[in-house]
Structure 1
């Protein structure tokens, strides 16, 4: 009977060790899975925040370009053609300076975009911005009338609004 008791004690001990090992593996797997899920959720939240920040930065720069565009009508009303041409060229130089950060934030926004619609909307904003700039050059050269600026500017603001709509649809 003593041998059976030793055998039962050994079996019980081995069962306890095996049960402990299985339990610890289960806890380890559960902890690893929970850590992976948590890391993935944090990574997605970080990506979402970076994307939103890039979109906001682009919209801010688009509105800063708009601030520059708001100075244009007073320049276009200048009666003296030579003075007007000089003022337009100075204005275009300021627009070129403002375009650098505008372009940079647009590129960052397209890198972080989840949808092609946002990328296309961003490209339309750049195209409209270029059209406004070129219209000012044509007005300065006397090739076209001032009304072209206002038409181009309306297209620019429509493109900016379309970008905002594309972002809202992407975030929905």
Structure 2
């Protein structure tokens, strides 16, 4: 009977060790899973915040372009074609200076955003280029000053579409 008691004690002890090991392993796996979920959640939050910051920076740069565009109408009213050409060329030079940071922000949006937002940002970029090229055509006498107003309307429409795309994305 002494041997039977020893076997029961060994079996009970072994069962307790195995149960402890299984429980410990389960807790370890649960903790690992919880850590992975927390890390993924943090990464998604960081990614969302980065995307939001890039969108805000792009919108800010687009509005800085708009500040320069608002200086255009008085230049278009200049009667003397040569004087208007010179002033428009000076204006286009200022636009090129503002365009660099604008282009950079557009490229960041293209890296960070989903396709709908990237496409909307690209349209803003294209319409901004159209405004610039239209001003060059007006300066060269290729088109009438009224062409500017259609180009600038397209620019602001594309900006509104970009903001709406960002809003729909939920960033």
Residue 82 of structure 1 deviates from its aligned partner by 2.5
Which residue does the alignment assign to 2:152?
153
How many residues end up aligned between the 2 structures? Answer: 171
Which residue does the alignment assign to 2:35?
35
- 1:99 aligned onto 2:93: no
Which residue does the alignment assign to 1:137?
136
Aligned partners of 2:126, 2:35: CA distance in 1, in Å? Answer: 45
Alignment of 1:11-160 (within 5 A): 11-114=11-114, 116-160=115-159
Mark the runs of 5 or more structure 1 residues left unpaired by the alignment.
none
Mark the runs of 5 or more structure 2 residues left unpaired by the alignment.
none
Which residue does the alignment assign to 1:162?
161
Residue 113 of structure 1 deviates from its aligned partner by 1.1
Aligned partners of 2:129, 2:120: CA distance in 1, in Å? Answer: 14
Aligned partners of 2:73, 2:116: CA distance in 1, in Å? Answer: 32
Aligned partners of 2:166, 2:150: CA distance in 1, in Å? Answer: 25
Partner SS for 1:104? helix
Residue 33 of structure 1 deviates from its aligned partner by 0.5
Query: Structure 1: which 4+ aligned runs deviate by more than 4 Å?
Result: none
Partner SS for 1:59? helix
Residue 142 of structure 1 deviates from its aligned partner by 1.4
TM-score under structure 2 length normalisation = 0.95
Residue 171 of structure 1 deviates from its aligned partner by 1.6
Residue 60 of structure 1 deviates from its aligned partner by 0.8
